[in-house]
């Protein structure tokens, strides 16, 4: 199988390309600027993509997008976050829709930020979007695949939760303060955190590629979300460190701004992976403690 991947050098993209090659698929990166042998180039800002080299691909996995948690959300940062998703997705969708021999599936990234802050509500792929900046980004991100969908190409919108991996993402940022005994709940700790092991994130994407009955929205979340308090205590237990002192919200807000802290760290999203369950996906790490041990092994 020939699979083209944007965001191939990121945390998920790197693991996905490794997994594709392990099962003897051909994984081809779509990269910005100069590219190496066997890679394709594109520039979403300029609307440039080597369309002829997309012909005959079996699948395209679109993971590219600017990080949402690295800096305070200034108006310029928010513009870049949004456009890094919508421009690239629109370009890909319109391009594959025009191909003579298009891929049979376009798997496009999204996020559980789609649901907004929902308290204790149990959220599935059928739940309506919420409010806030991240929800608006996710909605517009998903709408950007419309051209491919309308052309009859199977499209999957992968709503990804917090990905647990030692190599990067939220867990990598938490390790140092927790190892120093400075990790603690955020705010009340009652907000729900949906998460997924990196191995299962990759497994879910491969499942979406391989299964014709996966179409539309798909939650890439483990089946056992936890509260922030439970997440904190479990990570502390795995690292054998205390977690008694709450994380100071004031310091976080001073560094990252109130909006980012509220939406990324304090919002509550209790998300369940109904589509993965209904289409027969088996999780490698369905429980948090096991996922953390595996990530940190």
List the one residue out of 130, 54, 56, 133 whose CA is nearest residue 95. Answer: 54
Residues in the chain: 297
CA distance 250 to 33: 40
CA distance 199 to 217: 20
- The answer to whether 138 and 110 are in contact (CB under 8 A) is yes
* Number of domains within the chain: 1
40-43 and 48-49 beta bridge pairing? antiparallel
Domain that holds residue 113: 2-296
CATH at 125: 3.40.50.720
Q: Kindly list the averaged pLDDT for each block of 10 residues, start to end, along the chain of length 297.
A: 95 97 96 77 91 94 93 95 96 97 97 97 97 97 97 98 93 90 92 98 98 98 98 96 90 92 95 98 98 95
List the one residue out of 200, 228, 173 whose CA is nearest residue 291. Answer: 200
CA distance 46 to 44: 5
Element (H, E) at 293: helix 288-296
Which residue in the block uniquely carries the two structure tokens 């992968």? 158
User: Quick count: other Cβ atoms within 10 Å of Cβ 213?
Assistant: 9
User: Quick count: other Cβ atoms within 10 Å of Cβ 98?
Assistant: 12
Q: What is the pLDDT of residue 27?
A: 96
pTM of the model: 0.96
Token couple for 285? 């790490």
Q: What is the pLDDT of residue 258?
A: 94
Q: What is the pLDDT of residue 35?
A: 66
- The answer to whether 158 and 145 are in contact (CB under 8 A) is no
CA distance 16 to 28: 11
């Amino acid at each position: 199988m020939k699979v083209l991947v944007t965001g191939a050098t990121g945390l998920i993209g790197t693991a996905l390309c490794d997994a594709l090659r392990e099962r003897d698929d051909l994984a081809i990166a779509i990269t910005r600027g100069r590219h190496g042998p066997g890679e394709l180039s594109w520039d979403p800002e300029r609307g440039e993509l080597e369309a002829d080299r997309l012909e005959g691909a079996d699948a395209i996995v679109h993971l590219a997008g600017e990080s949402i948690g690295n800096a305070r959300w200034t108006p310029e940062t928010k513009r870049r976050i949004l456009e890094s998703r919508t421009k690239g997705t629109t370009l890909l969708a319109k391009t594959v829709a025009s191909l003579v021999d298009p891929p049979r599936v376009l798997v496009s990234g999204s996020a559980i930020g789609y649901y907004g802050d929902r308290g204790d509500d149990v959220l599935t792929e059928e739940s309506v979007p919420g409010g806030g900046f991240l929800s608006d980004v996710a909605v517009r991100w998903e709408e950007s695949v419309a051209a491919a969908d309308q052309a009859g190409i199977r499209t999957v919108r992968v709503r990804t939760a917090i990905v647990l991996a030692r190599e990067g993402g939220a867990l990598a940022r938490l390790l140092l303060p927790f190892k120093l005994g400075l990790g603690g709940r955020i705010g009340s700790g009652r907000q729900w955190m949906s998460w997924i092991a990196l191995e299962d994130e990759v497994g879910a994407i491969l499942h979406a590629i391989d299964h014709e009955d996966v179409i539309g929205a798909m939650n890439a979340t483990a089946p056992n979300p936890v509260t922030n308090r439970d997440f904190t205590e479990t990570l502390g237990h795995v690292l054998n460190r205390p977690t008694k002192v709450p994380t100071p919200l004031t310091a976080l807000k001073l560094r990252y701004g109130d909006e980012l802290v509220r939406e990324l760290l304090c919002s509550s999203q209790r998300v369940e992976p109904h589509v993965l369950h209904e289409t027969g996906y088996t999780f490698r790490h369905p429980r948090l403690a096991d996922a953390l041990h595996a990530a940190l092994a």
